[in-house]
């Protein structure tokens, strides 16, 4: 499979690239600074430098892909970086005839499926502290949902840099209860699993440590 990864130098994106290569996929890693990727050259790895407001360059990066992964990060202050990037990626995929899109957002921006304590005590505090990135992520999700692509929105909880455990709980359409952390390496594995899972197309997929 040919997979284009946006946010390839980020905490999650780099794991996606590494795991995809380990699984035998061909990866196009979209970066702003190739030096930050820090991976050895490989026959199945193409590293391309792209500005995300350049629709033609983004189209070239996704052309021929079987799937696109958006693992971009978001700013801490008022920002529309995820929303703006999603608009360009969706349009470029449509131009290139590529349909499968998996994007990483945040479970903290949603309360569906949460317990009453989390919904009415924890999430209001979290939502205030992270109100700017959460607003950007929710707007990004709306862009993705409104597209005609085969999309999946992956919603992880608080992310850690721990080792990959392989123990990931999943829930479609609602947040996972009782688990509030996940290693980025496990998130990357869940994202790659979602790429080939027809059962999570046109759905939000919550993931957390098992």
Provide DSSP, 30-52.
EES-GGGT-----TTEEEEE--T
Write down the H helix ranges in the chain. 11-22, 55-62, 81-96, 116-117, 123-129, 131-146, 184-195
Q: What is the pLDDT of residue 206?
A: 96
Quickly tell me which residue has 């597209």 as its tokens. 147
Q: Name every residue whose Cβ is closer than 8 Å to that of residue 88 and which is 6 or more positions away in sequence.
A: 52, 53, 54, 55, 58
Residues β-bridged to residue 191: none
Q: Give the mean model confidence (pLDDT) for residues 5-20.
A: 96
pLDDT at 124 over 70: no
Share of the chain above pLDDT 70, in %: 91
Contact status, residue 159 vs residue 106, Cβ threshold 8 Å:
no
Continuous segment of H or E residues that includes residue 69: strand 67-70
For 111, the 3-state DSSP assignment is: coil
Q: How many other C-beta atoms are found inside a 10 Å radius of the C-beta of residue 122?
A: 15
Q: What is the pLDDT of residue 74?
A: 83
Q: What Cα–Cα distance (Å) separates residue 122 from each residue in 108, 159, 187?
A: 9, 17, 22
State the chain's mean pLDDT as an integer: 91
For 102, the 3-state DSSP assignment is: strand
Domain ranges of the chain: 2-209
Q: What is the pLDDT of residue 190?
A: 98
pLDDT at 121 over 60: no
Q: Give this prediction's pTM.
A: 0.92
Q: What is the pLDDT of residue 59?
A: 98
pLDDT one-digit tens code per residue, 167-208? 999 999 988 988 889 999 999 999 999 999 999 999 999 999
pLDDT one-digit tens code per residue, 82-120? 999 999 999 999 999 999 999 999 988 776 766 676 666
- Backbone φ and ψ of 173, nearest 5°: 85, 0
Q: What is the pLDDT of residue 76?
A: 73
Q: What is the pLDDT of residue 130?
A: 66
CATH number for the region 2-209 comes to 3.40.50.720
pLDDT at 14 over 60: yes
Tokens describing residue 155: 């919603």
CA distance 45 to 25: 9
For 56, the 3-state DSSP assignment is: helix
CA distance 209 to 29: 26
pLDDT one-digit tens code per residue, 36-91? 988 887 889 999 999 999 999 999 999 999 999 999 988 777 889 999 999 999 99
């Amino acid at each position: 499979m040919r997979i284009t990864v946006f946010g390839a130098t980020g905490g999650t994106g780099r794991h996606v690239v590494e795991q995809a290569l380990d699984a035998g996929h061909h990866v196009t890693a979209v970066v702003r600074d190739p030096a930050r990727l820090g991976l050895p050259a490989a026959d199945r790895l193409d590293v391309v430098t792209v500005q995300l407001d350049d629709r033609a360059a983004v189209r070239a990066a996704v052309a021929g892909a079987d799937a696109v992964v958006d693992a971009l990060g978001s700013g801490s202050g008022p920002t529309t970086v995820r929303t703006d990037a999603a608009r360009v990626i969706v349009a470029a995929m449509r131009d290139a005839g590529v349909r499968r899109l998996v994007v990483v957002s945040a479970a903290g921006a949603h309360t569906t499926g949460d317990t009453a304590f989390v919904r009415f005590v924890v999430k209001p505090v979290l939502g205030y502290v992270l109100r700017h990135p959460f607003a950007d992520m929710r707007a990004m999700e709306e862009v993705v949902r409104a597209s005609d692509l085969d999309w999946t929105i992956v919603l992880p909880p608080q992310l850690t840099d721990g080792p990959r455990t392989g123990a990931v709980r999943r829930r479609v359409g609602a947040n996972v209860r009782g688990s509030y952390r996940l290693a980025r390496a496990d998130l990357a594995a869940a994202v790659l699993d979602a790429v080939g899972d027809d059962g999570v197309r046109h759905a939000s997929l919550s993931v957390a440590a098992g």
